[in-house]
Amino acid sequence: MEDERQASCKCGGRQTKGENGVMKKPVRPGALSPGDTVGITAPASWGDRQRMEESARYLERLGLRVRMGETLVKRHGYLAGTDEERARELNGMFADPEIKAILCARGGYGTGRIADLLDYGLIRANPKVFWGYSDITFLHMAMLRYAELVTFHGPMLIDLEEEEPDPLTLQNYETLLNPSALRYTEEISPLHTLVEGEAAGQLVGGNLSLLVSTLGTPYEVGTKGRLLFIEEIDEEPYRVDRMLNQLRLAGKFSDAEGILICDFNNCEPNKRKQSLTLEQVFGDYIVPAGKPAMAGFKIGHCSPNIAVPIGIEARMSTSDKVLECIEPGVRG
């Protein structure tokens, strides 16, 4: 398997030019049209196929066709099939001309295991919407660096299993058919300033623990000249502290132009009852970096879960309390 991994990574990947993986202009995938086919895959953990099919009916109501991948019925411990099976399906969906977008069924664990089995040359030659969050963060970083592709940190089919998904969560998918640039203001949620200022750059980020897991690998998150956003779930403050410290020591905060603190769902003291608060932890790491920073974005393991195009140029302003992209994540 090691030989197959090395061959795949060597043939499929090409490091983009620029310090720390920063690219001048990633490629935006095309917008969807009614009748287009969306592929559903599980590149990490497995889910309940029947429930996923029920969730996919929302996509069908938008006029899209849905093709379920075989990984949704595979089981390999906590993984939706072997590494080779999951990577083969994802590569195949990018190669299939009938599939116009690829949505991840769920996160869980496992995408870092297949990053070196993906054909980034193939992905770069067939730019498509790639959509997911949580464990999918690892693939977002890999595709931005090696395939030069704008991807989407957004709600997955597992998020549509709720009885009443938030209208803003559902609205995310509509922007794939009717492109519009993201503009996040306090009309969505209250925003809190940690460090005043304005900043601009490519949006990059995702789940904190996954971003940390890229450090020291060929897929390391690059923050130089970028706006970094982070989110997390079910991690106690001392663990968040440890991960933020690792990003600090790796220079990720000092390199960034601005920092966006998104949803930290259920990140409360449990094992260690005597604890710093999350606000204190952010104050210890984000504030000293001196970069414009805001908190309160409903991005991540939350409802609503606002989709973010990774790789798109954006600006943030703490005085205007706004995050806005200069263009849609898809081409109209």
Write the single-letter amino acid at 65: R
Where residue 163 falls among pLDDT bands split at 50, 70, 90? confident
Question: pLDDT per residue over 204-239, tens digit each?
Answer: 999 999 999 999 999 999 999 999 999 999 999 999
Task: From 191, 322, 198, select the one nearest 262 (Cα to Cα).
Answer: 191
With vertex at residue 139, the alpha carbon angle to CA 71 and CA 194, rounded to the nearest 5 degrees, is: 130
Global model pTM greater than 0.75: yes
CA dihedral 90, 95, 96, 99 (to 10 degrees): 60
Where residue 8 falls among pLDDT bands split at 50, 70, 90? very low
Q: 């001392």: which residue's tokens? A: 238
Helix runs in the chain, H state only: 2-12, 49-61, 83-95, 120-125, 137-146, 167-174, 208-214, 237-249, 252-255, 278-289
CA dihedral 85, 91, 94, 98 (to 10 degrees): -50
Distance (Å, whole) CA 62 – CA 273: 47
- Verify whether residue 153 is a known catalytic residue: no
% pLDDT > 90, the chain? 88
Question: pLDDT per residue over 106-151, tens digit each?
Answer: 999 999 999 999 999 999 999 999 999 999 999 999 999 999 999 9
User: Which residue among the candidates 213, 220, 232, 301 is catalytic per the annotation?
Assistant: 301
User: Which residue among the candidates 220, 231, 232, 235 is catalytic per the annotation?
Assistant: 231
Residue-level pLDDT at 6: 46
User: Which residue among the candidates 134, 189, 209, 317 is catalytic per the annotation?
Assistant: 134
Residue-level pLDDT at 24: 64
- Verify whether residue 231 is a known catalytic residue: yes
